[in-house]
Structure formats: structure tokens, C-alpha cells
Amino acid sequence: NIENHGLYVRMFRADCGSFIKELVEELFLRTDTFYLRASSCADRRQMYEQCKEWQHTTVNGQEMDVASFEFTDFLSDWHLRLVVQRTKIDTEHGEQLLPGMEYMYRAILTNDHESTEEQVIDKYNQRGSSEKNFDVQNNDFGWAHLPFSTMEDNTVFLLFTSMLKNFYQYLLSKVSSIFPGIDMKSRLKRFVFAFIVIPAKWVRVARQWTLNIYTKDRWLHYWTIFNASYG
């Protein structure tokens, strides 16, 4: 129990996999605010289509209409809020959609009644940034294949690889300002193929050892004239 250790959850965000009554009850009691992606159903979609109070707005550069509804599917006496956004479906060849089918609806269940619809959507969308970090750790730093079967045995590995991720970000900040083709969004595999997995050969030219590097990267051609004493 985290409360026994003096810890408290200020904000919780999750996708529709957490949209179940039992979990919502726990979140309502144990967090300040929570934001859950609500699954869609025919009854709620009909409620959205009948709404006439949509407000046009822009969130993170995306145009949409937003509205708030009282959530009554379960825990109706808890006065939960359903923030809904609708975006018009773009048709590639000008197809005509049936009435009521021209919009895509996305809903967020929350107990936050103070934030605007735009703020609620923005807070929920920040979940993607956190998930991106886990994706990088899983694929670039070995979290998808932990060395041990129990979490307590993997603690050192997780902490060490997290530190490596921070060091890698620092390295990118230095490298990306000098070499083209590398930026702050470059994944580890791209970095490896740009700097490490490159064919090269030491050759003897004019009684000197010269390192020939075979690559199309223009900035690496300068290294082909690099001479070094070899033993």
C-alpha cells in the first residue's frame, strides 16, 4: 500500500484498457485527478450526435470540436465528467458519408471539473510522451529482454540502462550540432549505423598506414585522409 509509505498519486493517465468500474473506483479514492480513455459504444455515440453545444477549438495544432457530458454508465452518483472531442473524417476522393458518420469521436473520463476541455485533452495526450520513453527503453536499452525473472533482481539493470539513456541524450545534443543526419530524435540503431557499423580498412600508402572509411556520408570522407602511426 503506497499510502503507508507516505506516497500519493497526484495524476493518473491510461488508455481504454483501464476503463473498468473497479479501477475507476480505486482511482477516484486514491488519486487527485485521473484521465482515462473511455471506450466507445452505440448509446454514447448517439448522445454525442444529438449534442448541439459543440465548441470549435484547436489542440496541439489539430482542429476539433469539444464538449463535456455527465458520465452515467456506472458510478452515476459520483458526478464524473466525460470530455469528448470530435474530428471530421477526411475522405480521400470526396466520398459522401452517411449522416452521423462524418465524425470520429474520442472521449476521456475524468474527475477533473476545473480544467477546460482543451486542458483535459492536452493532459491526457501527455501520456504518449511517457509511453515513448518506455518504447525507447524496451527497444534500445534492453528492457524488453530483462536478464532476470524477478523485478528486484533487475533493479540494477533498469537503473543503469536508464542512466545510459540520459548519457545518450547528452551525447546526441553534442553530436547533432556538428554532424548532419543526426538529431535529438535519432534512435540508438540509427546512431550505431552512422558511426559504428561502417566498413573501414587500414592500408599501407607511401610507407604510412592510412585508414580508408567506405561511406557515402560526406563528413566521414575527411577521415579517409587521416594518417596514424600503426605500431
pLDDT digits (tens, 9 = 90+) for 112-125: 999 999 999 999 98
Q: At residue 226, does pLDDT exceed 50?
A: no
pLDDT > 70 in the chain, percent: 87
Angle, helix 127-140 to helix 117-125, in steps of 10 degrees: 10
What is the dihedral angle through the alpha carbons of 156, 162, 163, 166, rounded to the nearest 10 degrees?
Answer: 180
Q: What percentage of residues in the chain have a pLDDT greater than 90?
A: 30
Q: pLDDT digit string (tens) for 31-49?
A: 899 999 998 888 888 889 8
| pLDDT above 80 for 143 | yes
- The chain-wide mean pLDDT, for the chain, equals 83
The tens digit of pLDDT for each residue in 157-174 reads: 999 999 999 999 999 998
Q: Under a CB-based contact definition with an 8 Å cutoff, are residues 65 and 47 in contact?
A: no
